[in-house]
């Protein structure tokens, strides 16, 4: 809390020095505008639409990235084949993906697609690294004792890989929000957070830009916290 | 049932570890003895099929089931002592009985990571004993156990071990206690 207060004071001071609401609004103006927006149904509709799409893109990337990493660890040829595709996915700018997706898909799927392609490489690299770091001596032990594959996956691989997936997923959430909203903004998708940011830019409404940005940061933070909470609950369930 | 090794040779990075080693293992205890680094563990791994020899023949291991007390503990640190046994066998009742016999009755539900070195070693021995096997390989199974405990655990192994039992040790007294044949490198 003191840290947050410190940065709010820094923000207030910088805004006072600049002295232009067009360039930088104060925290008070930002939060007043955020409260005003929160009183409208359109605000919550935009949030629900964007949140649903980003969440879908993120979850699809989490599932696909994990499966691809598992297949890559199991079949080296598959890894050699898939790695250039994932590397390319990682290097292509969000703007390029957005334009390509706008040509190919319905705009309503834009944020899903862009969040997916942004998060997938993060999940893939980390999960693959986690699988590769599994202790070979434990795998040899399981082989000697003829332990069934299902048990090896859950009791050895999952335990080793889970922290890698968790770390990748928590940073992936932030990237999903950044890329998803950037795509909505470039694609000017109606009824989304990205479109609201676009409108604020057109009307030079800096207070709206800041209010929406604060909302995005809070949403991303809430999603990350919820994800951590689910993981912690799963961990406690496994311990019990 | 017998397992036979004929003229086994093995090198690692150009360094010869085993040269023309031949041996026959029959049901009962065989203690493999010799100085450290002489290739006892490598030979045990070759018998278990974990390492392939450069040349030579292994006869009679096809279809055999192995159980091993590895030189390293190789326990699942995140599982309990009991959980480590249940990882290799579904027989909970026998797992509890073996751990209790190994004086670990009060530590059944303690995570392997939280057990002392000696306790971990005993869990490893219990895990090897509970598994379904034809050949039991014990690679320095009693290291890290204090004298009094070692005696009771050696007795436990002697009582429960069945089939072909190959025990690697460089301790003459352990070999004497377990009895059976000696294979000196």
Strand partners, B25: B3
What integer pLDDT is reported at residue B57 of this predicted model? 92
User: What is the distance of C-alpha B90 from the center of its chain?
Assistant: 20
* Residue of chain A whose Cα is closest to the Cα of B90: A147
User: What is the distance of C-alpha B130 from the center of its chain?
Assistant: 12
pTM: 0.81
Portion of chain A with pLDDT greater than 70, in percent: 98
A140 touching B, CB under 8 A? Answer: yes
A174 by Cβ neighbours in 10 Å (0-12 / 13-18 / 19+) ranks as: middle
What integer pLDDT is reported at residue A10 of this predicted model? 93
Indicate the SS3 state at residue B25.
strand
pLDDT digits (tens, 9 = 90+) for B23-45: 999 999 999 998 888 889 999 99
Sign of the alpha-carbon dihedral angle for B144, B149, B151, B155:
negative
CB pairs under 8 A between A and B: 33
A144 touching B, CB under 8 A? Answer: yes
Q: How far is A80 from chain B (nearest CA, A)?
A: 27
- pLDDT above 90 for B89: yes
What integer pLDDT is reported at residue B167 of this predicted model? 95
The vertex-A185 CA angle with A180 and A186, nearest 5°, equals 100
Q: State the ipTM, two decimals.
A: 0.93
The H or E element that residue B58 is part of is strand B55-59
Question: What is the mean pLDDT of the segment spanning B142-161?
Answer: 92
What integer pLDDT is reported at residue A234 of this predicted model? 74
User: What is the distance of C-alpha B94 from the center of its chain?
Assistant: 19
Strand partners, B9: B55
Q: How far is B137 from chain A (nearest CA, A)?
A: 11
* Residue of chain B whose Cα is closest to the Cα of A138: B74
pLDDT digits (tens, 9 = 90+) for A122-150: 999 999 999 999 999 999 999 999 999 99
Instruction: Report the C-alpha gap between B111 and A19 in whole angstroms.
Output: 61
Confidence bin at B65 (pLDDT 50/70/90):
very high
Instruction: Report the C-alpha gap between A153 and A133 in whole angstroms.
Output: 14
User: B150 in a domain, yes or no?
Assistant: no
What integer pLDDT is reported at residue A239 of this predicted model? 59
Is beta strand B164-169 parallel, antiparallel or unpaired with respect to B55-59? Answer: unpaired
Q: Which residues contact B31 (CB under 8 A, 6 or more apart)?
A: B167, B168, B169, B174, B175, B178, B180, B181, B182, B183
What the block records as the tokens of B37 is 């680094």
User: B161 in a domain, yes or no?
Assistant: no
Count of alpha carbons within 13 angstroms of residue B92, beta-carbon side: 3
First CA to last CA distance, chain A: 34
Q: Which residues contact B35 (CB under 8 A, 6 or more apart)?
A: B170, B185
Angle between helices B117-130 and B147-160 (to 10 degrees): 10
User: B1 in a domain, yes or no?
Assistant: yes
Residues of chain A with pLDDT under 70: 237-240
Is beta strand B15-25 parallel, antiparallel or unpaired with respect to B3-12? Answer: antiparallel
User: B144 in a domain, yes or no?
Assistant: no
The H or E element that residue B132 is part of is none
Instruction: Report the C-alpha gap between A33 and A26 in whole angstroms.
Output: 11
What integer pLDDT is reported at residue B118 of this predicted model? 94
- pLDDT above 80 for B117: yes
Instruction: Report the CATH fold assignment for A39-239.
Output: MetI-like fold (1.10.3720)
CB atoms within 10 A of CB A55: 17
Q: Which residues contact B153 (CB under 8 A, 6 or more apart)?
A: B102, B122, B125, B142, B145
Question: How many domains does one find in chain B?
Answer: 1
What integer pLDDT is reported at residue B94 of this predicted model? 97
**Residues of B in Cβ contact (< 8 Å) with A156:** 76
CATH code of B5's domain = 3.40.50.300
Count of alpha carbons within 13 angstroms of residue B66, beta-carbon side: 22
Q: Which domain holds residue B11?
A: 1-63+166-185
What integer pLDDT is reported at residue A238 of this predicted model? 61
């Amino acid at each position: 809390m003191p840290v947050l207060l410190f940065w709010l004071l820094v923000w207030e001071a910088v805004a006072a020095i600049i002295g232009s609401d067009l360039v930088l609004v104060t925290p008070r103006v930002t939060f007043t505008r955020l409260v005003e927006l929160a009183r409208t149904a359109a605000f919550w509709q935009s949030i629900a639409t964007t949140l649903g799409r980003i969440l879908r893109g993120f979850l699809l990337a989490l599932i696909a990235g994990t499966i691809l990493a598992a297949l890559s660890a199991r079949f080296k040829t598959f890894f050699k084949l898939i790695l250039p595709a994932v590397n390319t996915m990682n290097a292509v700018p969000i703007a390029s993906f957005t334009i390509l997706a706008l040509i190919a898909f319905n705009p309503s799927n834009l944020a899903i697609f862009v969040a997916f392609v942004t998060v997938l490489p993060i999940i893939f690299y980390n999960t693959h690294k986690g699988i590769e770091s599994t202790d070979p001596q434990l795998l040899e032990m399981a082989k000697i004792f003829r332990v069934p594959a299902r048990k090896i996956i859950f009791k050895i691989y999952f335990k080793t890989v889970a922290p890698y997936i968790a770390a990748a997923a928590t940073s992936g959430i932030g990237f999903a929000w950044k890329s998803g909203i950037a795509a909505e903004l470039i694609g000017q998708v109606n009824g989304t957070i990205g479109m609201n940011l676009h409108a604020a830019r057109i009307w030079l409404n800096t207070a709206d830009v800041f209010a929406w940005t604060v909302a995005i940061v809070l949403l991303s933070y809430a999603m990350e916290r919820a994800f951590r909470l689910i993981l912690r609950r799963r961990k406690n369930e496994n311990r019990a | 049932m017998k397992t036979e090794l004929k003229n086994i040779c093995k090198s690692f990075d150009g360094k010869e570890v085993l040269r023309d080693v031949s041996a026959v293992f029959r049901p009962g205890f065989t203690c493999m003895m010799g100085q450290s680094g002489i290739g006892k563990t490598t030979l045990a791994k070759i018998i278990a099929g974990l390492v392939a020899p450069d040349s030579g023949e292994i006869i009679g291991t096809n279809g055999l089931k192995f159980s091993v007390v590895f030189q390293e503990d190789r326990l699942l640190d995140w599982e309990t002592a009991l959980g480590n046994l249940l990882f290799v066998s579904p027989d909970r009742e026998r797992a509890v009985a073996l751990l209790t016999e190994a004086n670990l009755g009060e530590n059944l539900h303690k995570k392997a990571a939280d057990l002392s070195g000696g306790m971990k070693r005993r869990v490893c021995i219990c895990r090897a004993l509970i598994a379904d096997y034809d050949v039991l390989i014990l690679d320095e199974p009693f290291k890290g156990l204090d004298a009094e405990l070692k005696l009771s655990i050696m007795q436990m192994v002697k009582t429960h071990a069945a089939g072909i039992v190959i025990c690697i040790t460089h301790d003459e007294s352990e070999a004497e206690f377990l009895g059976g044949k000696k294979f000196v490198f």
